[in-house]
Amino acid sequence: MDDGTRRRRRQNEEDGMSLVKTVRNTLVPVHKAGYPFIAIFFVVSLLLGLLWTPLMWIGFLLTAWCAYFFRDPIRMTPLDDDLVISPADGRVSSIAHVLPPVELGLGAEPMLRITVFMNVFNCHVNRAPMRGTIRQIAYREGQFVNAELDKASHDNERNGLVIETSHGAIGVVQIAGLVARRIICWANVGERLEAGERFGLIRFGSRLDVFLPKGAEARVSLGQTAIAGETVLAEFGSAKGAILSRRG
């Protein structure tokens, strides 16, 4: 084999590896909690194809959507203990001072509540809004009304975390919606979370409420799009330049 052939073969191998690397970096990782659902969608699509081919292609489209729903992208989280980071992707649907859920034990005084509503096209992996230690986790059964309604904060199925931070205790509440039927939280009481660290997810549409003590000021507007692990929802004290750090 002459030198020219070797160089061409080496170049072809490098080009192939580069293409594979590009595709791999382009594809967003899928959270393992979605694997069973993706497999079910895929198998059902094949079975539907035995009845009528167009149904199979429709099923494959739904399978692709399912994989997209369970995506788990890498996010860049500001490293600043004065900042409250969005725990979810979605739209800021409420900024108000309201009483926190009684099961969280956060007192009987109104707290700043910032709500992020997730539709079925948003990433549903939930992240810690601040660095701190989980003091309490409280699950409450409930209804499945539209999560955008204000009463959903009290009426719907929910799971709340109380996190002790450098600015006091904050509440993070996962709330089920019309389509959501499963709240998942893999964090435990006593566990220390970093800001932007994953702690759970909700399947198929829902919302998250963040309850903040005195001293927090909202840094978002109603209707604004929030990105979990990146968007600053609120801040304690004066504004600072935050250092960005990549989180896996």
- Answer with the one of 34, 53, 69 that is the final residue of a domain: 69
Q: In terms of domains, do 161 and 48 share one?
A: no
Number of domains in the chain: 2
Q: In terms of domains, do 190 and 131 share one?
A: yes
The whole-number pLDDT of residue 36 equals: 87
The rounded distance, in Å, linking the Cα atoms of 46 and 60 is: 9
The rounded distance, in Å, linking the Cα atoms of 7 and 20 is: 20
Give me the torsion for CA of 186, 30, 79, 244, rounded to 10°.
180
How much of the chain, in percent, has pLDDT values that exceed 70?
Answer: 77
- Answer with the one of 29, 46, 69 that is the final residue of a domain: 69
Lowest average pLDDT, out of 56-70, 108-122, 142-156, goes to: 142-156
Q: In this structure, which amino acid lies at residue 108?
A: A
193 or 12: which carries more pLDDT confidence? 193
The whole-number pLDDT of residue 9 equals: 61
Q: Is residue 172 part of a domain?
A: yes
83 or 206: which carries more pLDDT confidence? 83
CATH number reported for the structural domain that contains residue 93 in this entry: 2.70.70
Contact of 207 with 117, CB cutoff 8 Å: yes
Q: In terms of domains, do 52 and 88 share one?
A: no
Does residue 165 surpass a pLDDT of 70? yes
Q: Is residue 247 part of a domain?
A: no
For 35, the domain range is: 3-69
The whole-number pLDDT of residue 203 equals: 76
Q: In terms of domains, do 39 and 153 share one?
A: no
Dig out the tokens for 218 from the structure.
């909202």
In the block, tokens 């001072």 appear at 97
pTM for the whole thing? 0.79
Catalytically active residues, by annotation? 206
38 or 171: which carries more pLDDT confidence? 171
- Answer with the one of 42, 69, 96 that is the final residue of a domain: 69
Q: In terms of domains, do 125 and 165 share one?
A: yes
Q: Which residues of 203-232 are buried (b: 16+ CB within 10 A; e: fewer)?
A: bbbbbbbbbbbeebebebeeeeebbbbbbb
Is 2 buried (19+), middle (13-18) or exposed (0-12) by CB count in 10 A? exposed
Could you tell me the pLDDT band of residue 123, with boundaries at 50, 70 and 90?
A: confident
Does residue 172 surpass a pLDDT of 50? yes
Q: In terms of domains, do 95 and 39 share one?
A: no
